[in-house]
């Protein structure tokens, strides 16, 4: 089912966004730039919203959509480490990082301090 989900998500990425040799390789997905992930989320969401507004039915069934959504969440969750590192390098406090993540500053520190380069 994951292969079908990757295929679905690939439909929402501009071909120039991905190295053509990596486009069909699920192992390459964790290394996708944040902009490409955003492009996937936007395209996928727009297709579902268009259907809700009376547009054509998406070319996926509910289980495929659930699997694709799980994969997106996994990919986006993987971006936390470098985004926290980047925020800290820009001088953001643990309170600010925690607030951005919807958790306490202590929880943010406990989870992400190992990525802090300051």
Pick from 40, 44, 15, 10: nearest CA to 25? 10
In SS3 terms, 36-98 reads as: HHHHHHHHHHHHHHHHHCCCCCCCCCHHHHHHHHHHHHHHHHHCHHHHHHHHHHCCCCHHHHH
Q: How many domains does the chain have?
A: 2
Domain shared by 70 and 85, yes or no:
no
Domain shared by 12 and 67, yes or no:
yes
Lookup: tokens for 19: 């190295």
Domain shared by 105 and 66, yes or no:
no
pTM passes above 0.85: no
Domain shared by 60 and 18, yes or no:
yes
Predicted confidence at residue 95, as pLDDT, reads: 97
Distance CA(12)–CA(46), nearest Å, equals 10
pLDDT along the chain (118 residues), means of 10: 67 62 51 65 76 72 71 78 90 96 96 84
Residue-number span of the structural domain to which 60 is assigned: 1-78
């Amino acid at each position: 089912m994951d292969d079908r989900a990757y295929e679905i998500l690939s439909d929402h990425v501009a071909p120039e966004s991905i190295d053509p040799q990596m486009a069909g390789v699920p192992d390459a997905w964790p290394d996708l730039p944040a902009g490409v992930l955003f492009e996937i989320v936007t395209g996928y969401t727009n297709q579902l919203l268009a259907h809700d507004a009376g547009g054509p039915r998406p070319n996926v069934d509910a289980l495929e959509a659930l699997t694709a959504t799980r994969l997106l969440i996994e990919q986006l969750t993987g971006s936390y480490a470098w985004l926290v590192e980047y925020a800290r390098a820009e001088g953001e406090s643990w309170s600010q990082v925690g607030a951005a993540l919807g958790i306490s500053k202590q929880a943010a520190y406990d989870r992400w301090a190992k990525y802090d380069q300051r």
